A = this chain, B = another copy of it.
Amino acid sequence: MRCEIVAVGTELLLGQIVDTNSAWIGEQLALAGIDCLRHAAVGDNGQRIHDALSEALARADAVIVTGGLGPTQDDITREVIAEVMGVGLERQDFLVERIEKRFAGRGRRMPENNLRQADVPVGAVPIEQMPGTAPGLVCPVGDKVIYAVPGVPSEMRDMVNGTVLPDLILRSGSTSVIRSRVLRTWGESESGLAELLAEEIVRLDATGGPTLAFLASGIEGLKVRITAKGDTEEDTLAMLAEEEVRVRAIIGSVIFGVDEQNMESVVLDLLVAQGLTMATAESMTGGMIGARLTEVPGASRAFVGSVVSYANSVKHDLLGVPEGPVVSEAAVRAMAAGVCEATGADVSVAVTGVAGPEAQEGVEPGVVWIATSVDGVTEAVQVRFPYGRTMTRQLTVISALNMLRRRLIDRG
Contact = CB atoms under 8 A, between A and B. Distances in A.
Interface of A: 12-20, 22-28, 30, 36-43, 48, 52, 55, 215-216, 277, 280, 282, 284-291, 293-295, 297, 299-300, 303-311, 313-314, 317-318, 342-344, 355-358, 389-390, 393
Contact of A310 (B19, B36, B40, B303): B303
A219 B290 CA distance: 21
User: How many copies of this protein are present in the complex?
Assistant: 2
A199 B62 CA distance: 48
Contacts of A343: 311, 313-314, 317-318
Q: Name, among A13, A40, A356, the residue most crowded by chain B CB atoms within 10 Å (CB to CB).
A: A13
The 8 tightest CB contacts between A and B, nearest first, are: A287-B287, A286-B294, A15-B27, A287-B290, A15-B26, A306-B308, A304-B311, A39-B41
B37 A13 contact: yes
A393 B305 contact: no
Given A13-B38, A215-B16, A308 B286 contact: no
23 contacts: A12-B26, A13-B37, A13-B39, A15-B25, A18-B20, A19-B22, A38-B52, A40-B41, A55-B55, A277-B311, A280-B287, A285-B294, A286-B287, A286-B293, A286-B303, A287-B288, A287-B289, A290-B310, A295-B389, A304-B311, A305-B311, A314-B343, A318-B342
A241 to B, nearest CB: 25
Contacts of A342: 317-318
Given A310-B303, A311-B300, A15 B19 contact: no
B39 A40 contact: yes
Contacts of A305: 307-311, 314, 318
Main secondary structure of the interface of A (DSSP, over half): mixed
Q: Name, among A28, A297, A390, the residue most crowded by chain B CB atoms within 10 Å (CB to CB).
A: A297
Contact of A313 (B38, B43, B318, B344): B344
A211 to B, nearest CB: 13
A13 B26 contact: yes
Contacts of A15: 22-28, 30
Contacts of A37: 13, 42-43, 48
A300 B326 CA distance: 14
Contacts of A287: 280, 282, 286-291, 294, 306, 308
A295 B397 CA distance: 13
A27 B42 contact: no
A294 B318 contact: no
B288 A291 contact: yes
Contacts of A290: 282, 286-287, 308, 310
Given A286-B287, A295-B389, 12 more contacts: A14-B26, A17-B23, A18-B18, A294-B393, A295-B393, A297-B356, A297-B357, A299-B310, A305-B308, A314-B343, A317-B342, A317-B344
